[in-house]
Structure 1
Amino acid sequence: MVKRLTDICAKGGFKLSKWISNSRTVLMSIPEERRAKEIKDLDLDTNQLPVERALGLQWCIETDKFQFKTFLQDRPTTRRGILSVVSSLYDPLGILSPFSMPAKLLLQELCRQNLKWDEVIPHSLSQRWRDWLEDLQLISKFKVERCIKPSCFGRPDKAQLHHFSDASQDGYGTVSYLRLEKNNITHVAFILGKARVAPLKQTTIPRLELTAAVLAVRVNMLLQKELQVRLEKSVFWTDSTTVLKYISNETRRFNTFVANRIAVIREATDVNQWRYVSSKENPADDASRGMRAGDFLKCRRWIKGPEFLYRSEKEWPKLDMEYRVISADDPEVKKDLTMNVIVKELQNPTSHLIHYFSSWAKLKISVAWLLKMKEALALLAQKRKELLAAGKGGNRRYSSKRIVDDGESLKCKPGCKRLGAFCETTNKNQCFGKASDKTYFATGSRIVKKILNED
């Protein structure tokens, strides 16, 4: 490979130099003038290979492991000083996510208390900061394998990504592993870890668990694109049965927050890719809660993965209970809107009239009054037409004519009271009345007059 790369670049006029490798055989094949200056004077047979920087990380060439170089900076105990120290710990792969989580929580607490950037933090918080700085010195002892596959492993028969997610009141996180199989031999390698603090606004644990699941899905999409390995379908692990219920749901409708995140998960994954793992076996629990340096250095699970990944799939954790049923009183389920409609059939006017009166005699009297009113209105209409015709013949202009007998008050007749259900007004004096030989009728506020002959 060294010779091929050198020849290709030489054709374009580029001369490759500063070569370095963890293989002494490869280094010996490279001319001394083209080696990195740190190994030019080394005796490759006896001397130990140095530590170099590779993509911002400390690479121990002799052991082929990544390590972290830490040193205490003289910074004030303010928000600005703390952020400067925490940011100096370069960790693009999230290897130190459980250890860096307490420092992130401390910065969030300073933001919650609205402390200014250059304001000295309270004594209770400064003690937490000093404890974290003491732990920072221990991180220089931490090392992790650079290669995700052992040199003697060869080409794997099966490669599969496993993503673990978890959340707590403090934060949420995810960690991804690559599981390789060859000749019934299994190797699990750490790929990527992420840890994030929970929002300042109070959020329920199921929502944070769902957010962590979405983060795992996005990490999977990234690794599927970047890893140049033929991968089988990824497996996603969570210790939240609520999240598993939401993902497998086919009947319920959720509130906007949950619905949007479920849409992202269902679009990128299948329901059968999600599995349950207990909190004790979930390595993402370390990222969501944070760890002290001493516990982190002793923790094998974060880097090596849970023990069950080294066993066959039949021995992986399974959830005994049924998790596909979501109760209707779940706070994230949209309430069903129930509408009650009463359909009232139109009743026949004759039937309504018959059922309105309690006796046959009252019904007959009322019908008689209605018929009499009908005749009076018909004669009134004919009289009005005659008056209008006479007015036009005499070239007189009529706008309207109200026929009211001056000086006489209208008195309601006894028979009129029985027609109360059919009058639009409640004023008895505006219904029916009689004065001398004149009978008056009224509908609403319009008074009509008809001269009737006495029976």
Structure 2
Amino acid sequence: MEDIIDKGYAERVSDDSYISEHVNYIPHHAINNPKKPGKIRVVFDCQAKFRDKSLNDYLLKGPDLTNALVGVLCRFRKERVAFICDIEKMFYQFHVNVEHRDYLRFLWWRNGNCDSKPQEFRMTVHLFGTGSSPGCSNFALKQAAKDHEKDFGTVVSNFIQKDFYVDNGLTSVSSVSEAIDLISKSKELLLCCGIRLHKFLSNSAEVIESIPCHDRAEGVKNLDLTIDDLPTERALGIEWCIESDAFRFRIKLSDKPLTRRGILSIISSIYDPLGFISPLQEICRLNTGWDDVIPEDLLPRWQRWRDELFKIETLKIDRCFKPDGFGTVVSVGIHNFSDASTFGYGECSYLRLVDANQRVHVSLVMSKSRVTPLRAITIPRLELTAAVVAVNVNLLKKN
């Protein structure tokens, strides 16, 4: 909190300020992320209600300008050289109009002296927790890229507009020189608007070496890039083994009751936005309550499935669609296969590449699976439903 105040993200409200009906006080608390020990995030509760109304009840979210997660991840797999980065405190980079800041007041004890009278502060920037912050921040980020497109080029502008998922940017290019140039110009463009890009990480040691140490991700700041292996990091939640340049899965299961709710909780804990695994949740077909114990005849099957789940950790999915040594691509095709049965339906999307030497390589792009509804539906109709899923997935990859 002291850091927020010292950096000007919050300002002191003078004691003689007039308190009108257009003032709102926001409660706050600290969150400690176990994956980032020692780092505490201040969270403002904009959902807190006073007289049955909260601040978020009055805020408009605006249009959803967040890029599609699947689209960003698919573009991240296009070329051999990849990098990821992060916008430092994204919401805090965009200011709130002075006349609206009194809605973002809060109380705080400077220097941790809780025996003294709390002082009043108000945020000068957008908050993590207000319903309008994502829309405002995404709009401002994209507008910054458009405003400076003539100065820095279309490639840089498109990267900022299309390859960021909120504050996380990730993309892939065909060469090291392209990556270094794109990183340099992107940092310069956003710096013109007071926005800092940092936490850069790449599968190329040469790209990492071109980035100042203070702008690199924590995992590579102290590495000797000539001998040390590159670490495993998360790319939008997916485990990215940078050294082998492959996606992997890390399974951590907690004990849950043998109920429909408990089993679905375990299945959903596997983060897999591209559907590399796509387990068919047959338990959904049971006509039982959420907290009813599943039938005994399903227990051995469930236990066997749970025990074998850790084998997924040995699975590796190449990040890049192109294999090493693949030549200049002369033909690209997307093939969507869909099918259905009485138990479920779904689709798989594949990318077919042909190089100048007429070599062919096929990669799994993503998949989607669904459980067949309990009500009776004919197989032809289910196959049409699966085809609709394939069409929607194909559109999703383009966004």
TM-score for both structures, normalised by structure 1 = 0.46
Superposed displacement of residue 30, structure 1: 1.2
Does 2:129 align with 1:129?
no
Q: Distance in 1 between matches of 2:390 and 2:196?
A: 42
Q: Distance in 2 between matches of 1:7 and 1:154?
A: 33
Report the equivalent of 1:264: none
Q: Distance in 2 between matches of 1:214 and 1:79?
A: 28
1:270-297 Cα shifts (integer Å, max 9, x gaps)? xxxxxxxxxxxxxxxxxxxxxxxxxxxx
Q: Distance in 2 between matches of 1:30 and 1:72?
A: 37
Q: Distance in 1 between matches of 2:284 and 2:300?
A: 13
Does 2:200 align with 1:2?
no
Superposed displacement of residue 153, structure 1: 3.5
Report the equivalent of 1:87: 268
SS at match of 2:200: coil
1:385-433 Cα shifts (integer Å, max 9, x gaps)? xxxxxxxxxxxxxxxxxxxxxxxxxxxxxxxxxxxxxxxxxxxxxxxxx
Structure 2's unaligned 5+ residue stretches are 1-181
Report the equivalent of 1:358: none
Structure with more strand by fraction: 2
Q: Distance in 2 between matches of 1:38 and 1:181?
A: 36
Does 2:328 align with 1:147?
no
Superposed displacement of residue 191, structure 1: 1.2
SS at match of 2:333: strand
Report the equivalent of 2:311: 138
Superposed displacement of residue 89, structure 1: 0.9
SS at match of 2:308: helix
Does 2:329 align with 1:156?
yes
Q: Distance in 1 between matches of 2:359 and 2:289?
A: 55
Q: Is the 8 A contact 2:284 2:371 kept in 1?
A: no
Does 2:170 align with 1:170?
no
Structure 1's unaligned 5+ residue stretches are 227-455
Superposed, which structure 2 residues align to 1:239-278 within 5 Å? none
| One-letter amino acid matched to 1:200 | L
Superposed displacement of residue 154, structure 1: 5.4
Q: Is the 8 A contact 1:172 1:196 kept in 2?
A: yes
Superposed displacement of residue 88, structure 1: 0.7
SS at match of 1:166: strand
Superposed displacement of residue 163, structure 1: 1.0
Structure number with greater Rg is 1
Structure 1 stretches of 4+ moved >4 Å: none
Superposed displacement of residue 34, structure 1: 1.4
Does 2:243 align with 1:62?
yes
Superposed displacement of residue 92, structure 1: 0.8
Q: Is the 8 A contact 1:106 1:125 kept in 2?
A: no
Report the equivalent of 1:352: none
Report the equivalent of 2:361: 187
Superposed, which structure 2 residues align to 1:385-424 within 5 Å? none
Structure with more contact order per residue of length (Cα contacts < 8 Å, sep ≥ 6)? 2
Does 2:282 align with 1:105?
yes
Match of 1:47 among 221, 224, 228: 228
Q: Distance in 2 between matches of 1:193 and 1:105?
A: 17
Superposed displacement of residue 155, structure 1: 4.7
SS at match of 2:337: strand
1:337-390 Cα shifts (integer Å, max 9, x gaps)? xxxxxxxxxxxxxxxxxxxxxxxxxxxxxxxxxxxxxxxxxxxxxxxxxxxxxx
Structure with more helix by fraction: 1
TM-score for both structures, normalised by structure 2 = 0.52
Report the equivalent of 1:209: 383
Cα 1:108/1:40, change in 2 over 3 Å = same
Q: Distance in 2 between matches of 1:107 and 1:125?
A: 13
Superposed displacement of residue 132, structure 1: 1.3
Q: Distance in 2 between matches of 1:74 and 1:187?
A: 42
Report the equivalent of 1:38: 219
Q: Is the 8 A contact 2:351 2:364 kept in 1?
A: yes
Percent identical among aligned pairs is 48
Report the equivalent of 1:28: 209
Cα 1:10/1:155, change in 2 over 3 Å = farther
Q: Distance in 1 between matches of 2:393 and 2:293?
A: 38
Q: Which moved more, 1:52-61 or 1:195-204?
A: 195-204
| One-letter amino acid matched to 1:108 | R
Superposed, which structure 2 residues align to 1:242-391 within 5 Å? none
SS at match of 1:202: coil
Q: Distance in 2 between matches of 1:105 and 1:192?
A: 21
Superposed displacement of residue 125, structure 1: 1.7
Q: Distance in 1 between matches of 2:294 and 2:367?
A: 30
